[in-house]
């Protein structure tokens, strides 16, 4: 499955400009950006995936291009998709990255497979 490599490059550039170290993993048909071994953002097809504080979901959904992440057919608490309209401007993309990074220290780490 193809994903928007240009969007992924823009995301990586913003993390770098903010001085945030990340690991990129290819999964879910796209690329995921892990910070402190926890999923923070990703690019699936042409959309940005963000993991935010579930308490902020209602407010985030008011933003342009934002919707609940329904990758598997069901929604996951705290995970959102932002379409190209909501990430076209650099300051909008940075907003979403900062929002996800802000939640990252409190996010639960997924169980590592042995």
pTM for this model (two decimals): 0.92
In DSSP terms, 24 is beta-bridged to 33
Count of beta carbons in the 10 Å neighbourhood of residue 104: 18
Q: Is residue 110 part of a domain?
A: no
Instruction: Find the CATH number of the domain harbouring 31.
Output: 3.90.1150
Q: Is residue 53 part of a domain?
A: yes
Q: Is residue 96 part of a domain?
A: yes
Taking only the tens of pLDDT, the chain with its 114 residues reads: 589 999 999 999 999 999 999 999 998 789 999 999 999 999 999 999 999 999 999 999 999 999 999 877 889 899 999 999 999 999 999 999 999 999 999 999 876 655
Range of the domain at 44: 5-17+25-105
Q: Is residue 114 part of a domain?
A: no
Give the span between the Cα atoms of 54 and 48, in whole angstroms. 17
Residue 49, CA distances (Å) to 31, 41, 54, 113, 114 in order: 10, 5, 14, 23, 26
* Counted domains in the chain: 1
């Amino acid at each position: 499955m193809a994903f928007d490599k240009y969007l992924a490059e823009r995301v990586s550039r913003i993390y770098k400009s903010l001085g945030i170290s990340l690991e990129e993993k290819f999964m879910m048909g796209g690329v995921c950006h892990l910070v402190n071994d926890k999923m923070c953002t990703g690019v699936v097809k042409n959309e940005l995936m963000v993991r935010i504080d579930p308490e902020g979901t209602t407010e985030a959904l008011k933003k342009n291009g934002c919707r609940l992440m329904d990758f598997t057919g069901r929604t996951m608490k705290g995970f959102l998709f932002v379409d190209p309209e909501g990430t076209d401007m650099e300051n909008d993309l940075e907003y979403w990255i900062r929002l996800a990074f802000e939640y990252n220290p409190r996010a639960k780490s997924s169980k590592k497979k042995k």
